[in-house]
Amino acid sequence: ARVKRLRLRPRVCGPRRASLPWQCPPSPASPWSRPPHVVFIMTDDQGYNDIGYHSGDIRTPTLDRLAAEGVKLENYYTQPICTPSRSQFITGRYQIHTGLQHSIIHPRQPNCLPLDVPTLPQRLQELGYSTHMVGKWHLGFYKRDCLPTRRGFHTYLGSLTGSVDYYTYHSCDGPGVCGYDLREGEKVAWSQAGKYSTHLYTQRVRKILASHDPAAQPLFIFLSFQAVHTPLQSPRSYVYPYRQMGNVERRKYAAMVAAVDEAVHNVTYALRKYGYYRNTVLIFSTDNGGQPLFGGSNWPLRGRKGTYWEGGIRGVGFVHSPLLRRKRRVSRALLHVTDWYPTLVRLAGGNASEGLDGHDAWAAISEGRESPRLEILRE
Ligand SMILES: *[C@@H]1O[C@H](CO)[C@@H](O)[C@H](O)[C@H]1NC(C)=O
Ligand SMILES: *[C@@H]1O[C@H](CO)[C@@H](O)[C@H](O)[C@H]1NC(C)=O
């Protein structure tokens, strides 16, 4: 008897034009009737070897599980330091288009993300999202118009500078030039001091989730942890499991990563509890490579934060979502931190055709198609 053969040919990106053999047809606009909630979690200075599934000495059971159930991004790049990376994430543009290619923005510098460049949260607001930022900004604050609340976020709680004390929120820009850096919206949040920032920020996310109706409006949360940047501080309980670790800096650092892991557990718990989870895309990403002078590790990659070696710019990242078509995968598609802007705007049902450097990478992430990108600009 003749057996009908099953046709299981996946749809691959065919050669559309001889000159552009890699070009894929555009992925369809948001395939969901309701645009997804987006939770973007960024850590600071977390290196390649600083997440459980890459590491021999750091344990992150929650991150490992979420990544294993989703798609691990194993060819993903960022910039080597904070401000340029964060500017690229939020604008979808290379730093050479925003003038932020030189260094970080220092606290006393009259500089910020150019006000005429649209931001991802602004675009998501236009598409009907409620947008919230929690944590480190580091894109300038010398005038009001630079603040997160003027750049697309309905609410903000966090620190505007590059690094602060995890409990007191004090920050110094050189000897004698110190201040308190924790804001609620556009006001100084004096009353919140004393709480470890990873806890404070996680609690804030839970409050945002609890006070929204997931069926009524899509939500975008940018949870930008201060962890695991210096200073190396964490509650003692997180250090205890690492008490045998010989390198004291690494011990403290591992504890800070553990607090982040617990925080992400709490965030996903809240996503489920309050009814968001099934329609949520959760993205986890570092902002740049780790700093081995202060406990981080990029092994086996060469270099560190601040360098253009792989260890400085290879990002740790994954996407976890029930909306992924092909889950439990490692993606080796070339991806870049500028890609989140067009990817998320498209997921939200918008179009991102305004001359961005990023590419819509959803088909590559969700379906395992080829990356729309062939190269990245580094310097
Ligand atoms: C996670 O939630 C538990 C229970 O509410 C809490 O004790 C813990 O401090 C939270 N952890 C973080 C990092 O927010
Ligand atoms: C995308 O948006 C721009 C304006 O933001 C508009 O001019 C253009 O027609 C849109 N393209 C599509 C395919 O909707």
Decide whether any atom of ligand 1 lies within 6 Å of the 257 Cβ. Answer: no
For ligand 1, the distance from its centroid to the CA atom of residue 262, given in whole angstroms, is 7
Alpha-carbon distances, residue 212 vs 133, 222, 273 (angstroms): 15, 16, 12
What are the tens digits of pLDDT across the range 36-77? 999 999 999 999 999 999 999 999 999 999 999 999 999 999
Per-domain residue ranges for the chain? 32-367
Decide whether any atom of ligand 2 lies within 6 Å of the 351 Cβ. Answer: yes
3-state secondary structure of 207: helix
Q: Hey, what amino acid is at 302?
A: R
**d(C-alpha 359, C-alpha 365), whole Å:** 12
Which parts of 55-181 are beta strand (E)? 71-73, 76-77, 130-135, 155-158, 170-172, 178-180
The residue behind tokens 């390649």 is: 48
Claim: this prediction has a pTM higher than 0.85: yes
Task: Report pLDDT for 33.
Answer: 66
Task: Report pLDDT for 13.
Answer: 39
For ligand 2, atom 2, which residue shows the shortest CA distance? 351
Torsion of the alpha carbons at 58, 59, 64 and 65, rounded to the nearest 10:
180
What are the tens digits of pLDDT across the range 266-304? 999 999 999 999 999 999 999 999 999 999 999 999 999
With 70 as the cut, is the pLDDT of residue 6 above it?
Answer: no
May I ask the CATH class of domain 32-367? alpha beta
The tokens describing 260, both together, are 């982040």
Residue 167 contacts residue 233 (beta carbons within 8 Å): yes
Torsion of the alpha carbons at 261, 204, 342 and 274, rounded to the nearest 10:
90
What are the tens digits of pLDDT across the range 83-125? 999 999 999 999 999 999 888 999 999 999 999 999 999 999 9
Decide whether any atom of ligand 1 lies within 6 Å of the 262 Cβ. Answer: yes
Task: Report pLDDT for 149.
Answer: 98
Look over the chain and give the mean of its residue pLDDT values, rounded to a whole number. 92
For ligand 1, the distance from its centroid to the CA atom of residue 222, given in whole angstroms, is 19
3-state secondary structure of 88: helix
Spatial CB neighbours of 124, under 8 Å, sequence gap ≥ 6 = 38, 131, 152, 218, 220, 344, 345, 348, 350
